[in-house]
Amino acid sequence: MFKQAFGSLLLLIVVQQVAAVEKTWCVYDPVGAQGDITRRLKEIALYAQRDQVNLQLKIYQHETEAIAQFNQKKCSGLVATNFNTRNYNAFMGSTAGVGFITNNITAQHFIQLLNQPALRSAMQQGEYEVVGFIPVGMTYMMLKTPTLYKVTDLKNNRIGVLAEVPPQTALVRSVRAQPVALSFDNAIKAFKNNQVDILPVPVYALLAYNLRKEFGESTRVINFPVVYAGLNIVIRAAEYPSDFGVNMRHWFAGQARVLVGQVIRWENRLPAYYWMDVSATEKQAYNVVIAKVRNQYSQNFFYDPRFVKLIKKLRCKDEPQYFECQIW
């Protein structure tokens, strides 16, 4: 009887091994293969084995390379920024919208909803499906001289924007500043070489640098979030088990607090010396400027209407004092 049971167990293991599929994800991690994002993805890869999917992670420090490899079908999965994955999924691409996710609590609450049946259709677009979202954190304005105290001080400054994200250009022009088109591949270099005066950037992207040494003693980061950065995990759904996306999003929903906790630790690693606060009055002025641009692009459906509706509810729940909550 023992031999029969052992034989059945061995057969089950063999069947499982045979059934497992090998899949490759092209991953953008600006820090490289030793980065925290890659380490997190290794945990996710272990979880994916429950669905008989063995993931191979190909790490790229240049996002354009990761996206190109995915588009050429060298990978069946892509881990890239929410700014540059909108073509694969408009709903999750909208997470990069200006003025939507403005704090880590709202980000956590959003991730906790990813496994909800009501959002399942939003995760799918054509042949693509988003199976997860890794928060990278709020994007702040970094500048080399602490001379920006009011919204009007932005005038005539050269501010880095992503060319593929029109609302960013519109936002910069709305304060009479000059947008300078950049990519994640050249943004830090452009700031270092004085091609831009102000660079919106998440703290994670700065951790590899000594800001004083690289950019100058007076470098500062304004403690006001403009957009929320994250990584969408996009797959070609037909190449995976039918419930793979659902199961993966279940993992993300359950790990939301842990994922956002990592973001908070990143932000806490930036010394207080570099942070530059703005007054409550100026924060309100920033919010008004951002709201105008965000609403313009929401009304013309650049942002997914389902996302807009959901994130308004979450933001007003977490930040009821926000001025637009009276009219939303």
Distance CA 33, CA 310 (A): 34
- Give the lowest-confidence range in 18-22, 100-104, 256-260: 18-22
Q: What residue segments make up the domains of the chain, in order of their start?
A: 16-136+229-268, 139-228+273-301
240: CB partners within 8 A, 6+ apart: 21, 23, 51, 53, 76
Q: Above pLDDT 70, what percent of the chain?
A: 95
- Give the lowest-confidence range in 15-19, 40-44, 302-306: 15-19
> Residue 244 — very low, low, confident or very high, per pLDDT cuts 50/70/90?
very high
Q: What is the pLDDT of residues 195-239, one digit of tens each?
A: 999 999 999 999 989 999 999 999 999 999 999 999 999 999 999
Q: What are phi and psi of 139, to 5 degrees?
A: -100, 125
Q: What is the pLDDT of residues 97-141, one digit of tens each?
A: 999 999 999 999 999 999 999 999 999 999 999 999 999 999 999
Question: Mean pLDDT over all residues of the chain?
Answer: 93
Q: State whether residue 98 is helix, strand or coil.
A: coil
What element of type H or E holds 39?
helix 36-48
Taken in order 42, 162, 107, 198, is the CA torsion positive or negative?
A: positive
Q: Do 16-136+229-268 and 139-228+273-301 come out as alike in CATH topology?
A: yes
Provide the whole-model pTM: 0.91
Q: What is the pLDDT of residues 163-193, one digit of tens each?
A: 889 999 999 999 999 999 999 989 999 999 9
Task: Provide the CATH number for the domain formed by 16-136+229-268 in this structure.
Answer: 3.40.190.170
Which CATH superfamily hosts domain 139-228+273-301? Bacterial extracellular solute-binding protein, family 7 (3.40.190.170)
